[in-house]
Amino acid sequence: MKIQITVKKIACYKDLMKQYENPIEHTCDMKMGQVFFTDGVHKPDGMCDSAWEVMLPFVRDLACGKDNFFDGWMKNPKSAMISCNDGFRPVSFYIEVVEE
């Protein structure tokens, strides 16, 4: 199955960055509304490695036909809302099965 991954929200916690993060030049490249496609195995070009690692179990399961995670968590049972693990600038991704 074909899986679509859409960037839905990008947060930025400047107070936490100021208090805990060392200054870095390059951070996240994700853009609001950005869309990626995958077969459930291969990381899409341009997808953050860290975000991919977090969402991969859900992407893989959806691509293999599994749905209804956590007994009705999502309105669309063939989807998941997953955030990357960056505590300073988390990105939320909507992952869904798309018809081919």
Cβ–Cβ < 8 Å for 11, 87: no
| Domain span holding position 49 | 2-98
pLDDT, tens only, 42-85: 999 999 999 999 999 999 999 999 999 999 999 999 999 999 99
DSSP category for residue 18: H
The model carries a pTM of: 0.92
Cβ–Cβ < 8 Å for 98, 87: no
Q: How many domains does the chain have?
A: 1
**pLDDT attached to residue 27:** 85
**Arithmetic mean of pLDDT, 23-40:** 92
pLDDT, tens only, 17-27: 999 999 888 88
CA dihedral 28, 11, 14, 55 (to 10 degrees): -50
